[in-house]
Every structure is written in structure tokens, then in C-alpha cells.
Structure 1
Amino acid sequence: MPIEPHRSTMARRFYFVAHGGVVQGVGFRYFTRQRARDYGITGWCRNTPDNKVEGEAQGEDDALESFFRDVDRGPRHATVVQLTREDLDVVDGESGFSIRR
């Protein structure tokens, strides 16, 4: 009998940037924090001086995919043009998701 490939549930971490027409002044960071909490994602996000929102998100693959799908849409009044992300090393012992200033 063939062995089914096992899907990894290993934690991963990404640095992400929401580039947009409108991602500041529309509650984007609070939306992102709430979605992170909904999916059990840890990390942080903040506004950048060049009108983007950046952050780091860590969690299980399936949770991260759902999180990034929501962040790519953003809250109701946001317009996300592009969501980029790059792999980072996992941070041990992190808890919660915060908004940084």
C-alpha cells in the first residue's frame, strides 16, 4: 500500500508588506491583529513612513495561508495592491500579535 505524503504542520515565519492604494488610516493594523488572533498567528505589524504596513507573522502553514488571504483583501476601506512576503527563521517562545508604533 503506498504511503500518503504527510503534510507538515511545522511553524513558519514570514516578513510581509502590504503595498496599497490605501492601507493606512483605515484600521488595517487592527484588522491584521484581529485576523492573527483568529488564526492563532503570532508576530507584529506597523505602519511604515512610505504608507505601507509591514510585519512578521508566525504560525502553522494552513493558518498562515488563511491569514494572508484575509490580509491581502484588508478591511473594508483598504485597497491592497500587492502583499509580499519572505521567509524568516521561526522565533521560539513568541506569544500574541502586537501592533508596533
Structure 2
Amino acid sequence: MVQYEIRVTGRVQGVGFRYYVQQQAKLLNVNGWVRNTVDGGVLVMAQGAEPAVKTLVDYLWVGPPLSLVKSVHKAELQLIESYTDFEVRY
């Protein structure tokens, strides 16, 4: 199991991006959370099997139809907390 903190920039707020991430994560059996950031981006905490998390990162580049992703930066973290679901945080 791996855990990544992923920062996404571009037109990713106000376009359903967080709910898109949640939907993809649940399909891939990835746990964690997603929230908007004050700088206009999105922050994702993703935890799960490495192939599933890497696939989620690929989906982040795509995004929902109205989004325009400019960058996706990921950093692997040590497993400190275990998530049991994937939620949208506010």
C-alpha cells in the first residue's frame, strides 16, 4: 500500500473536480480525501494499492469535461493514518 499527497492546478475549482476525483477513487478502491486549496487548486490524499493510485493520478490529468489541468505534482508519504473511504472535504 502507498500513500500520495497530490496537488492539482489549473481550472479545477467550480467544475466538479472534487466529485470526479471521488468517483474515480471509489471505482479504483483508493481511500483518502480531496479538497480545494486557497490558491485555486485541489489537494488529494490518496492511499491504496500502487497500481490503483497511479491510475488515479492519470485520471487527475484528464479531469471532468469543464476542467483544464495544468499540473499534477505528487509526493509519496509514509503511512501514518489509514483511511477507510474516499471523501470530499470542505
Scaled by the length of structure 2, the TM-score of the pair is 0.95
Pick aligned residue for 2:13 from 15, 21, 24: 24
Distance 2:43 2:73 in 1: 9
Equivalent residue number for residue 5 of structure 2: 15
Runs of 4 or more above 3 Å deviation:
none
- Pairwise CA distance, 1:83: 0.3
Aligned-pair CA distance for 1:71: 1.0
Give the alignment's TM-score, normalised by structure 1. 0.85
Query: For the residues of structure 1 that align with 2:42 and 2:81, how far apart are their CA atoms?
Result: 24
Q: CA RMSD in A?
A: 1.0
Alignment gaps of 5+ in structure 1: 1-10
Gap runs ≥5 in structure 2? none
Q: Which has the larger radius of gyration?
A: 1
**1:56-95 matches, cutoff 5 A:** 56-91=45-80, 93-95=82-84
For 2:39, the equivalent position in structure 1 comes to 50
